[in-house]
Amino acid sequence: MPAKSKNVFVCSECGYESAKWFGCCPGCNEWNTMVEEYRTSPSKEKSNGAVSIGGIEALTLENIADDTEQRYSTGLNELDRVLGGGIVKGSLILLSGDPGIGKSTILLQICQSLAQGLNVIYVSGEESSHQIKLRAKRLNVNPPMLKIMSETDVQKIAEYLRVNKPDLVIIDSIQTMNFTEVSSSAGSVAQVRESTNVLMRVAKDLDVPIIIVGHVNKDGNIAGPKVLEHIVDAVLYFEGERHLSYRILRAVKNRYGSTNEIGVFEMTDKGLKEVENPSLMLISGRPKNTSGSCVACVMEGSRPILAEVQGLVTPTAFGNPRRMSTGFDYNRVSMLLAVLEKRAGYFFGNMDAYINVVGGLKLDEPASDLSVALALVSSLKDVPFRDDALAFGEIGLGGEIRTVGNCEQRIKEATRLGFNRCIIPYHNYKLLNTADFDIEIIGSRTIRSAVEAML
């Protein structure tokens, strides 16, 4: 018997509910936040009292069967690493990123290896089967067990999956999926949420992994997927500048692994290629004997990565000095400039300052503070630093260079890439046995001494 349904309008900000739509939510006064939601009253069979208290139970951990989680390798090591070792059976994975970043491309590429032994279904609501075929041809993807479906009705898709029981499903994209019982248009919060719930049930019932693509809209908030983050098991973000060929894949949530691993890819004319040595890629092509450049070493998960930080300091033409930062937190640049003025005596008051991290990488670890400060000082003084030296350390408000974690791994990465000198926080230096390393290590307490060590 079909369930009785009623529609309500719910504010996506504060959860205010109403039978009527409002332009401005009476609960929180936000505009355009009321979205239509579809509610189903419990069906007869369930409310008949079939579920008794005796029907549920709680188990101790010992009594829960611990079948080892089964993972499918995607054939791309960088992606497997981000997922924590492969795709877990029965998991729901959200892959999001800006339109055109390469989500469909990477998913089609992993089909090449996955669909050798597994039944994979690629459901596309964006492209026709013919378009996908053309793309697969270009990417050299032609596995025997891949099936393509062009469909947007999520209930029909769920039915098909329940009958055909595939091993892996890809849904491209969740914004095009349509749940007919919800009247709002595809891509709306209610549609996206209901469609995901349907897919979630299929994934858990059949124990098949489902990968969902979600586009990020213009304001940086995902149109829909943000609401899904709590439903799905893993959320992967594809980042990168569209005009740069490098793409970084990051896990922001993972119920089956760590969230700080990243995967680095390069977009080529034959699809995405893994970058096995990201440090080499990020520091290649550095200008020689030019001021305003310093190499940083940050930890991305368990991997140390080197990146070039560039600073440019020029006299302000008029008005307030301009400060800009790409790949590094803007407010932290302001703080570093203040520390450099007050504690180290470098004056930027009438200077514009620009910071750029080469290659589209975002440095969010405080260990990159020292490199940013050094790049600014080098440009201010117009003195080029040694190009075979790098520096890392956190800068405190007192102008002190503070300890960082994973010091040895960072130094090893610097050695591996042919650097000859490493400037590190003094307290890290004290704990190291410098004879273990094949590189000159200098411990610095202050920014001034770090600047001298870079010359």
CB-wise, 97 or 224, nearer to ligand TYD? 97
Residue 208 DSSP label:
-
CB-wise, 223 or 407, nearer to ligand TYD? 223
Partner whose footprint covers residue 267, from Mg ion, ligand TYD, none (CB < 5 to 8 Å by kind): ligand TYD
Q: Is 310 in the site for Mg ion (CB under 5 A)?
A: no
Rg of the chain over CA atoms, in angstroms? 26
Bond from prior residue into 183 cis (ω within 30 degrees of 0): no
Partner whose footprint covers residue 269, from Mg ion, ligand TYD, none (CB < 5 to 8 Å by kind): ligand TYD
Name the residue type at position 347.
F
The residues that touch ligand TYD, with contacts defined as CB under 6 A, are 97, 99-105, 135, 138-139, 267, 269-271
Least spacing, CB of residue 251 vs ligand TYD, in Å: 17
Q: Is 104 in the site for Mg ion (CB under 5 A)?
A: yes
Partner whose footprint covers residue 384, from ligand TYD, Mg ion, none (CB < 5 to 8 Å by kind): none
Residues paired with 171 in a beta bridge: 123, 212
Least spacing, CB of residue 122 vs ligand TYD, in Å: 12
Contact 40, 3 (CB under 8 A): yes
Which residues, other chains included, contact 374 with Cβ-Cβ below 8 Å and sequence gap of 6+?
A: 294, 385, 391, 447, 450, 451, 454
CB-wise, 84 or 102, nearer to ligand TYD? 102
CB-wise, 104 or 178, nearer to Mg ion? 104
Partner whose footprint covers residue 100, from Mg ion, ligand TYD, none (CB < 5 to 8 Å by kind): ligand TYD
Q: Is 406 in the site for Mg ion (CB under 5 A)?
A: no
CB-wise, 104 or 291, nearer to Mg ion? 104
Partner whose footprint covers residue 105, from ligand TYD, Mg ion, none (CB < 5 to 8 Å by kind): ligand TYD
- Helix boundaries (H) for 51-188: 77-83, 103-114, 129-138, 154-164
CB-wise, 238 or 346, nearer to Mg ion? 238
CB atoms within 10 A of CB 345: 10
Which tokens in the block code for residue 41?
Answer: 């009253």
Coil, helix or strand at residue 330: helix
CA distance 217 to 435: 52
Contact 203, 92 (CB under 8 A): yes
Phi, psi of 348 (to 5 degrees): -115, 10
Coil, helix or strand at residue 369: helix
Contact 245, 71 (CB under 8 A): no
CA distance 111 to 118: 9
Convert residues 311-350 into a mask of x (bound to Mg ion by CB under 5 A) and - (unbound).
----------------------------------------
CA distance 265 to 79: 9
Least spacing, CB of residue 125 vs ligand TYD, in Å: 12
How many binding residues for Mg ion (CB under 5 A)? 1
How many alpha carbons lie under 13 Å from residue 388 in its C-beta half-sphere? 9
Least spacing, CB of residue 78 vs ligand TYD, in Å: 16
Least spacing, CB of residue 176 vs ligand TYD, in Å: 11
Convert residues 152-191 into a mask of x (bound to Mg ion by CB under 5 A) and - (unbound).
----------------------------------------
Least spacing, CB of residue 80 vs Mg ion, in Å: 22
Least spacing, CB of residue 97 vs ligand TYD, in Å: 6
Contact 86, 209 (CB under 8 A): no
CB-wise, 88 or 216, nearer to Mg ion? 216
Give the interface with Mg ion as residue ranges (CB under 5 A): 104
